[in-house]
Amino acid sequence: MRVRRFGAVIGAATALAMGLTACGSDSEKTEAKTVVQKAKDDKKLVIGIKYDQPALGLKKPDGGFEGFDVDVAKYVAKELGVPENGIEFKEARSENRESFLGGGQVDLIFATYSITDARKQQVTFGGPYVVAHQDTMVRADDNKIAKAKDLEGKRLCKAAGSNSYRRVTEGPPDGQLNIPAKTVDASSYSECVAKLKAGALDAVTTDDLILAGFASQQKGSFKVINDPFTDEKYGIGIKKGDTETCEAVNKAVTKMYQDGTAKTLMEKHFSGTGLKIEATTAPTFEPCA
C-alpha cells in the first residue's frame, strides 16, 4: 500500500509539472507573437500617440483623437487587419516611447518619432512615413530672431525626452549648429508653447510639422521663422527585432502614398500653414532591423 501511495504522489506531481510546463509554453508563444500576428488574430492593437500636438496627435475634449499621426495610424492598422474600433490609443510622451515598446504597453507608436541612430539601438522603426524639418517658432511680434543663428544667448525650450534642442546647442555628431542658447526645461512641447506665449522663453525649436500645428491652433500668436536645418524622419515605433511587423507597416505606408491618401491627409491637417506639401512618393525606408 505504501508503495502504491508513493507512486500515486509521484504521478500527480509529474502531471502537475507537465501542466505547468504546458502553461509556460503557451505564455512563451503569446509573448513571441509579433504585432502583425496579433493584429491578424485579435483584430486589436494598442497604439501610442501624442495627446498634445495640434494637427499631429491631439486628444479632443470629447475624448476622441485627431491629427495626421492619428489618421496614418488608422490607415496602417486597417491594412494590418484592425478596424478603427479595434484601436486603443495610449498617450506616448517623448520620454516614455522606448519603455512603452520594450515593456509591451503599446504595440506601435506614431508620435512624431524621429528615427535616430541612438534610438535604433532600442527600437525597430517602420517608415519613415513622412520627413519633417527642424525649424524655430517665436512670438509673432518678435523680430529679433529671424534665423537660427539668432538664437545665441536666447532662452530655448528643452522638452523632456526630445533631442531637438541639442541640434541647436551642440555640434556634431549628436548636435548640429553649436549655438550657445540658454535652455529652459518643460515637460512637453505644449508646455514649451505655453511658456513661449507667457514670455518665459524666447523660442521653441522642433519639427516644422509640430510648430505649424501649434501656430495654426493659436493664429496670430506665433510665427515659424522658416529657417530649417535638419531632416526629421518620422518612424513607426515597433518593439526591437519585430522585422515581420516592420515589413508589413512599410507595405502599408507605400500603399498610402500610391493611392493618394498621404497627400490628402497632409492637406487636411497642414494646408494654410505655409508648409510646402509634396506627398506623392513614399520616403526611402530605413532597413528593418
pLDDT tens for each residue of 50-106? 999 999 999 999 999 999 999 999 999 999 999 999 999 999 998 899 999 999 999
The pLDDT of residue 280 is 83
Compute the radius of gyration of the chain from its Cα atoms.
23
Mean pLDDT of 98-125: 95
CB 51 within 8 A of CB 249: no
Angle at CA 273, nearest 5°, toward 263 and 136?
110
The pLDDT of residue 94 is 86
CA–CA distance from 138 to each of 97, 147, 148, 175, 178 (Å)?
27, 11, 11, 21, 19
CA–CA distance from 76 to each of 29, 92, 258, 286 (Å)?
25, 18, 14, 17
pTM across the whole model:
0.78
The pLDDT of residue 163 is 86
Mean pLDDT of 99-118: 95
pLDDT mean across residues, the chain: 89
CB 66: neighbour CB atoms within 10 A?
16
Whether the bond into 180 is cis, omega within 30 of 0: no
The residue among 199 and 28 whose pLDDT is bigger is 199
Distance CA 25, CA 41 (A): 18
Instruction: State the cell numbers at 133.
Output: 524639418
Q: Which residue has the cell 501511495?
A: 5
The maximal CA–CA distance of the chain, rounded, in angstroms, is: 98
pLDDT digits (tens, 9 = 90+) for 37-54: 999 999 999 999 999 999
Angle at CA 110, nearest 5°, toward 234 and 271?
70
What is the DSSP-derived secondary structure letter of residue 146?
-
Hey, what's the torsion of the CAs at 90, 243, 104, 31, to 10 degrees?
A: 140
| Domains present along the chain, CATH in parentheses | 35-132+233-270 (3.40.190.10), 134-224 (3.40.190.10)
Lowest mean pLDDT among 6-10, 66-70, 183-187: 6-10
The pLDDT of residue 279 is 78
Share of residues in the chain with pLDDT > 70 (%): 89
The pLDDT of residue 186 is 96
Asked whether the predicted pLDDT for residue 5 surpasses 60, the reply is no
List all residues 6 or more positions away from 28 whose beta carbon is below 8 Å from its beta carbon: none
pLDDT digits (tens, 9 = 90+) for 245-285: 999 999 999 999 999 999 999 999 988 776 778 778 999 99
pLDDT band for 7, please (50, 70, 90 cuts): very low
3-state helix, strand, coil in the chain (%, to 5): 45, 20, 35
pLDDT digits (tens, 9 = 90+) for 215-255: 888 888 999 998 999 988 999 999 999 999 999 999 999 99
pLDDT band for 31, please (50, 70, 90 cuts): low
